[in-house]
């Protein structure tokens, strides 16, 4: 049995899709679908076509664990991908409880019950990147995240190191993941998703104007990784339980936003036209102008799979998902 928290979310549902392709259906989905009209969620659409054994609310699952659930079921692996992933979330008490305390509880329970624990950290822990993007665990104490979300993730990485459990678990620092099933993320959707709709509606893609003299408009660089590649890397840690510690999940190659959106125009047979606009004040001082995962540590463990080129990944996303009547994994 495999547990996927955040299983109705972006990476979680993509992970279950890939598990289904491998013939795995003994899967428990754990997620928070919200309550009340102000928290209505469309995440349920991500799991309509997926095969799984059961599904539980996040809080209910926590109570079930405290009542001995893990001892009574043969759980092999817990993928803890559920979290508040909003980089603009200001309620740190919420981030603390959701991203740190809940993760710590699941980790402790997994270790106690000899269950493989694989959790989502984040590239947001690297802050402005001035200290590099190495996933060497000896570098953890030097990192300075720029927002509450990144710090809440960093707090657990530090706790895991202090508690000396990193040799028994795997923490994955996801960089800029994009692809199908991110539609519910609203403002946190990838640039590809946002620009696709802009191009369809106006013929133009809109990107942030640069506020850094070292970067021209649209030339800000990020390590963009297709969700299918990110999922393959994630499953590597289930298949290779001896591989533990903290690892980057990226491509190791930064691309400009301009180069990221151009394949959308090509996939749509549309004329390239990009419009730049000022980024909101809330982002300006905390904006990452460059990210690039150091992938040498993961590669050194034996991960050799080639990654999808950005042009091919964006084209696949647009043609086989965004342009279809049912854009979800199925």
Question: What distance in Å separates the CA atoms of residue 106 and residue 5, rounded to the nearest whole number?
Answer: 10
The residue from 102, 119, 133, 149 that is catalytic is 149
| 149 given a catalytic annotation | yes
| The token pair that represents 287 in the structure block | 């904006």
Question: What distance in Å separates the CA atoms of residue 145 and residue 155, rounded to the nearest whole number?
Answer: 10
Looking at the DSSP bridge assignments, the partners of residue 56 are: 30
| The token pair that represents 253 in the structure block | 């190659």
Question: What distance in Å separates the CA atoms of residue 192 and residue 260, rounded to the nearest whole number?
Answer: 7
| The token pair that represents 295 in the structure block | 């992938």
Q: Give alpha helix (H) positions in 123-280.
A: 148-162, 191-202, 227-239, 257-267
| The token pair that represents 92 in the structure block | 């740190």
- Residue 225's SS3 state is strand
The residue from 51, 58, 161, 185 that is catalytic is 185
270: Cβ contacts below 8 Å, ≥ 6 apart: 199, 203, 264
Q: Which of 231, 217, 163, 246 lies closest to 4, judged by CA?
A: 231
The set of catalytic residues is 149, 185
């Amino acid at each position: 049995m495999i547990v996927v928290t955040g299983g109705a979310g972006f990476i979680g549902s993509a992970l279950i899709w890939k598990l289904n392709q491998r013939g795995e259906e003994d899967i428990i989905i754990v997620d928070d679908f919200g309550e009340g009209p102000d928290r209505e969620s469309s995440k349920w659409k991500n799991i309509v076509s997926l095969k799984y054994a059961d599904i539980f609310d996040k809080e209910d699952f926590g109570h079930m664990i405290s009542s001995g659930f893990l001892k009574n079921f043969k759980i092999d692996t817990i993928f803890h991908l559920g979290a508040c992933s909003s980089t603009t979330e200001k309620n740190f008490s919420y981030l603390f409880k959701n991203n740190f305390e809940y993760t710590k509880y699941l980790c402790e329970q997994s270790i106690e019950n000899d269950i493989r624990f694989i959790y989502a950290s984040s590239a947001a822990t690297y802050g402005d990147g001035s200290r590099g993007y190495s996933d060497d665990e000896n570098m953890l104490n030097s990192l300075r995240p720029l927002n509450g979300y990144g710090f809440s993730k960093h707090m657990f990485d530090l706790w895991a190191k202090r508690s000396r459990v990193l040799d028994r678990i795997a923490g994955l620092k996801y960089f800029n993941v994009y692809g199908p099933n991110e539609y519910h993320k609203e403002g946190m959707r990838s640039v590809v998703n946002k620009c696709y709709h802009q191009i369809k509606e106006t013929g133009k893609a809109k990107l942030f104007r640069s506020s850094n003299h070292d970067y021209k408009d649209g030339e800000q660089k990020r390590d963009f990784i297709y969700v299918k590649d990110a999922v393959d890397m994630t499953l590597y840690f289930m298949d290779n339980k001896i591989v533990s510690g903290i690892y980057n999940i990226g491509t190791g190659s930064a691309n400009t936003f301009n180069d990221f959106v151009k394949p959308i125009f090509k996939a749509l047979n549309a004329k390239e036209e990009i419009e730049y606009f000022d980024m909101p004040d809330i982002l300006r001082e905390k904006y990452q102008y460059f990210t690039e995962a150091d992938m040498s540590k993961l590669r050194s463990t034996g991960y050799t799979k080639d990654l999808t080129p950005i042009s091919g990944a964006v084209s696949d996303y647009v043609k086989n998902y965004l342009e279809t009547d049912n854009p979800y994994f199925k």
